[in-house]
């Protein structure tokens, strides 16, 4: 184990972010020289805080089942090559989770019962950043080919994890992606300041060298296209649907049709393209920008925070983030005990940079100007009583807004097109239904990630991609030694 007295001698410490004034002037990650390097001076000591407790609940908190105490020990001993080997045994892409995961492992850490938990996510990202720098991450092409072919539809973290596992198992894998570049929400949802795309590109390069083929700019199931559901089933021995949860929740109140009201995913991808020097829109249409505008973001989650940080960097005049739920408590409420993932007040890097958060706020109406563009929102304070939402009398007010961004989540996968053509059953929530082996109602067609689970997190998408790959391998060859970290029915540790 790491230092037996480490947790007694050392307190929890994180890396220092770049000063706000500096970082809002560019799109780079918020840590100096990247988080892995920023952490190096402190990370061995932080890893030494791991108690190697008898029953490590962090394993249970992490959907991937990352073997956290083992790599904490190896980092403390300065054995970085051993550490990346252990980490890669359970996680294909620790550079994504180490930057972007909300770290349910840390809220399940046994040290967290009466002290600050181990900085597990920081140890994870240090290991992988150091591994890339040291040349420890190499392509792992298969030693032999099975002669079986797999089409993976969608190149987000679920599709990438499934494709990498299946390629390494010897199958011939093609990943279809309708966008011009691979990565799913890792590329066009998540902004540079949270994860620079060079980390994604480096991993895609490794995958290509291993033999995975990427067909970008190809929408499977597009009308008149070469890859209809029927054609995919005919040409490939198995198909993995990893198309994400892309239907965004709307707010159909009076004034919704006004100009200047957009879904977050009509705003963030354009900004992400511009941030890396590409045109905002391939068709040359004008970019949706926050520059000089009063911006209102409706929705308080990750997507809302990404809109906030992006609007700040674009030079918005003011930014208000509305959340319908009440402000959560600062610390774990008694009803959400350890080791569950609690609903508490969290401050992302974007929240440090500016904007105002307004809780218990519901939008009644969008108000327009004479040109048909939004000029304000009429909002009202709401309370939850007896499970129902009621308005507080006399609390209505207007807030100015020339740009409104919806960040209220996603309701499920798109159904016209591929899903309909394949004829797969949907579950009660409209997601692609699958059995405990990730197979849909159509034999040979599997589903992984948000299209099957519903809107979730990167770590769940990777875990599902890995598990679905094991199921596909078994379907194709009759047996598998690929790991299957979770069944589709596994849920987060929450109450």
Ligand X SMILES: Cc1cc2nc3c(=O)[nH]c(=O)nc-3n(C[C@H](O)[C@H](O)[C@H](O)COP(=O)(O)OP(=O)(O)OC[C@H]3O[C@@H](n4cnc5c(N)ncnc54)[C@H](O)[C@@H]3O)c2cc1C
Q: Which does 121 bind (CB under 5 to 8 A by kind): ligand X, ligand SF4, none?
A: ligand SF4
Least Å from the CB of residue 211 to ligand SF4: 26
Q: Count CB neighbours of 140 within 10 A.
A: 14
Binding-site string for ligand X from residue 427 to residue 466, where x marks contact by CB under 6 A and - marks none: ----------------------xx-----xxxx-x-----
Q: Which does 64 bind (CB under 5 to 8 A by kind): ligand X, ligand SF4, none?
A: ligand SF4
Interaction with ligand X in 394-423: which residues (CB under 6 A)?
417-418
Least Å from the CB of residue 59 to ligand SF4: 9
Query: Phi then psi for 480, rounded to 5 degrees?
Result: -155, 150
Any alpha helices (H) in 238-390, and if so which ranges? 264-275, 302-314, 349-353
CB within 8 Å of 298: residues ≥ 6 apart: 251, 304, 322, 363, 404, 405, 406, 407, 408
Cβ pair 304, 297 in contact under 8 A: yes
Q: At what angle do helices 68-76 and 120-134 cross, to 10 degrees?
A: 60
Least Å from the CB of residue 25 to ligand SF4: 29
Cα–Cα distance for residue pair 351/348, rounded to 1 Å: 5
Least Å from the CB of residue 277 to ligand SF4: 30
Least Å from the CB of residue 106 to ligand SF4: 6
Burial 202-240 (b: 16+ CB within 10 A, else e): ebbebbeebbbebbeebbbbeeeeebbbeebbeebbbbb
Least Å from the CB of residue 492 to ligand SF4: 10
Beta-carbon-side half-sphere exposure of residue 66 (alpha carbons within 13 Å): 35
Q: Which is nearer to ligand X, 2 or 101 (CB)?
A: 101
185 touching ligand X, by CB under 6 A: yes
Interacting residue with ligand X among 109, 131, 153, 319 (CB under 6 A): 153
Q: At what angle do helices 35-47 and 120-134 cross, to 10 degrees?
A: 120
Interacting residue with ligand X among 129, 306, 323, 353 (CB under 6 A): 306
Q: Which is nearer to ligand SF4, 157 or 452 (CB)?
A: 157
Least Å from the CB of residue 254 to ligand X: 27
175 touching ligand X, by CB under 6 A: no
CB within 8 Å of 438: residues ≥ 6 apart: 446, 447, 448, 452, 464, 467, 468, 471, 472, 488
Least Å from the CB of residue 35 to ligand SF4: 12
Binding-site string for ligand X from residue 285 to residue 304, where x marks contact by CB under 6 A and - marks none: -----------------xx-
Determine the size of the site formed for ligand X (CB under 6 A): 37
- Token readout for 408 is 């209220």
Q: Which does 304 bind (CB under 5 to 8 A by kind): ligand X, ligand SF4, none?
A: none
Give the footprint of ligand SF4 on this chain (CB under 6 A): 61-62, 64, 66, 68, 97, 101, 103-105, 120-121, 124, 459
100 touching ligand X, by CB under 6 A: yes
Cβ pair 352, 380 in contact under 8 A: no
Least Å from the CB of residue 479 to ligand X: 26
Q: Which is nearer to ligand SF4, 104 or 229 (CB)?
A: 104
Q: Which does 419 bind (CB under 5 to 8 A by kind): ligand X, ligand SF4, none?
A: none
Give, for 45, the enclosing helix (H) or strand (E). helix 35-47
Residue 414: closest CA among 153, 169, 170, 238:
153
CB within 8 Å of 202: residues ≥ 6 apart: 132
Q: Which is nearer to ligand X, 73 or 302 (CB)?
A: 302
Residue 227: closest CA among 170, 178, 182, 158:
178
Across 294-355, where does the E strand assignment appear? 294-298, 318-322
Q: Which does 105 bind (CB under 5 to 8 A by kind): ligand SF4, ligand X, none?
A: ligand SF4
- Token readout for 109 is 């850490």
Interaction with ligand X in 215-254: which residues (CB under 6 A)?
219-221, 242-244
Q: Which residues bind ligand X (CB under 6 A)?
A: 100-101, 153-159, 176-179, 184-185, 189-190, 219-221, 242-244, 264, 268, 302-303, 306, 417-418, 449-450, 456-459, 461
């Amino acid at each position: 184990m790491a230092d037996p007295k480490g947790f007694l001698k050392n307190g929890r410490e994180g890396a220092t972010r770049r000063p706000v004034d500096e970082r809002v002037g560019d799109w780079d990650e918020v840590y100096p020289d990247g988080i892995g390097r920023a952490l190096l001076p402190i990370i061995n000591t932080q890893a030494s805080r791991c108690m190697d407790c008898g029953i490590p609940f962090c394993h249970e908190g992490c959907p991937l089942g990352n073997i956290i105490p083992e790599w904490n020990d190896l980092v403390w001993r300065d054995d970085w090559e051993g550490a990346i080997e252990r980490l890669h045994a359970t996680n294909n892409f620790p550079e994504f989770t180490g930057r972007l995961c909300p770290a349910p492992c840390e809220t399940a850490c046994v040290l967290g019962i009466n002290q600050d938990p181990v900085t597990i996510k920081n140890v994870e990202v240090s290991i992988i950043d150091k591994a890339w720098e040291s040349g420890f991450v190499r392509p792992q092409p298969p030693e032999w080919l099975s002669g079986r072919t797999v089409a993976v539809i969608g190149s987000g973290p679920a599709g990438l994890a499934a494709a990498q596992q299946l390629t390494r198992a010897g199958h011939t894998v093609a990943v279809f992606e309708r966008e011009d570049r691979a990565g799913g929400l890792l590329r066009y949802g998540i902004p540079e300041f949270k994860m620079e795309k060079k980390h994604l590109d480096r991993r895609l390069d490794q995958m290509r060298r291993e033999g995975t083929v990427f067909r970008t700019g190809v929408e499977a199931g597009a009308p008149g296209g070469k890859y209809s559901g029927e054609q995919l089933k005919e040409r490939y021995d198995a198909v993995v649907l990893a198309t994400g949860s892309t239907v965004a929740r709307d707010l159909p109140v009076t004034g919704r049709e006004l100009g200047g009201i957009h879904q977050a995913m009509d705003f963030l991808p354009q900004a992400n393209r511009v941030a890396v020097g590409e045109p905002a829109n391939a068709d040359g249409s004008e970019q949706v920008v926050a520059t000089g505008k009063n911006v209102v973001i409706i929705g308080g989650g990750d997507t809302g925070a990404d809109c906030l940080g992006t609007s700040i960097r674009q030079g918005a005049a003011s930014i208000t983030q509305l959340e319908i739920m009440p402000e959560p408590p600062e610390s774990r409420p008694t009803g959400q005990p350890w080791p569950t993932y609690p609903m508490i007040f969290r401050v992302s890097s974007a929240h440090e940079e500016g904007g105002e958060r307004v809780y218990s706020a519901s939008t009644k109406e969008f108000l327009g100007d004479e040109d048909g563009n939004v000029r304000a929102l009429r909002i009202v304070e709401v309370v939850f009583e007896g499970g129902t939402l009621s308005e507080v009398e006399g609390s209505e007010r207007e807030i100015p807004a020339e740009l409104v961004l919806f960040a209220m989540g996603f309701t499920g996968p798109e159904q016209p097109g591929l899903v309909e053509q394949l004829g797969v059953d949907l579950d009660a929530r409209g997601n692609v239904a699958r059995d405990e082996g990730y197979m849909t109602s159509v034999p040979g067609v599997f589903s992984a990630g948000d299209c099957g689970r519903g809107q979730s997190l990167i770590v769940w998408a990777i875990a599902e991609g890995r598990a679905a790959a094991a199921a596909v391998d078994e379907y194709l060859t009759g047996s598998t030694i690929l790991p299957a970290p979770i069944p589709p029915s596994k849920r987060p540790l929450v109450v």
